[in-house]
Chain A
Amino acid sequence: ILNVEQSPQSLHVQEGDSTNFTCSFPSSNFYALHWYRWETAKSPEALFVMTLNGDEKKKGRISATLNTKEGYSYLYIKGSQPEDSATYLCALQTGANNLFFGTGTRLTVIP
């Protein structure tokens, strides 16, 4: 079992604020890094899958960066909206194998 750490554990921001979270992972045997968004009472949904050092991906107001050499990824949300409230999970994929999830960052956006 690999140690994938996410910080902060929870976060409250005002509507309109921008925010970011961190995912740290062991850099050895890296294959891919996934980000998922998990809203209450729903299933987790994929945001990004990144495989290359230096990768940057963007989907609307959400973007992510990846540093495989130092073992971290950042997720950014620009201009947070109440509908962004969810738990954001990152997952490390090693080899062509299973994914190890972090415990997530729970974001609450206050209107």
Chain B
Amino acid sequence: GAGVSQSPSNKVTEKGKDVELRCDPISGHTALYWYRQRLGQGLEFLIYFQGNSAPDKSGLPSDRFSAERTGESVSTLTIQRTQQEDSAVYLCASSVGVTGELFFGEGSRLTVL
């Protein structure tokens, strides 16, 4: 597709389960970002990938969160042993270069019961 694709669009899970969120960036975009928005809050940076450089993981809130990216393609964000405070919309964005505008996916809404 032409845009950033995220899946699933909605995920309801039980506390303690693991979840995996997927992001398909725009082809050719070297930079990929994960953000989340919890209810009533702003966009919170999670992790940033730029080409083959080591990712900037400084925004990951705990060691239950991890993300991978294969080259300049798909990225997966994994949350282990989910907690209720993990409930949020997880947004992925990609950009063509270091000052390129971000193109966002439609997000994955995660609800942890």
Contacts and interface: CB of A to CB of B under 8 A. Distances in A.
A54 B32 CA distance: 29
Contacts of A51: 99
A45 B100 CA distance: 13
Contacts, number: 56
Interface in A22-37: 31-32, 34, 36
Contacts of A98: 33, 45, 48, 56, 59
Interface of B: 4, 33, 35, 41-43, 45, 48, 50, 56, 59, 91, 93, 98-107
7 contacts: A1-B45, A31-B99, A44-B104, A46-B103, A99-B33, A101-B42, A103-B41
Given A31-B98, A99-B45, 15 more contacts: A1-B59, A34-B102, A43-B91, A43-B107, A44-B43, A44-B91, A46-B102, A46-B103, A49-B99, A49-B101, A97-B48, A98-B56, A98-B59, A102-B42, A104-B42
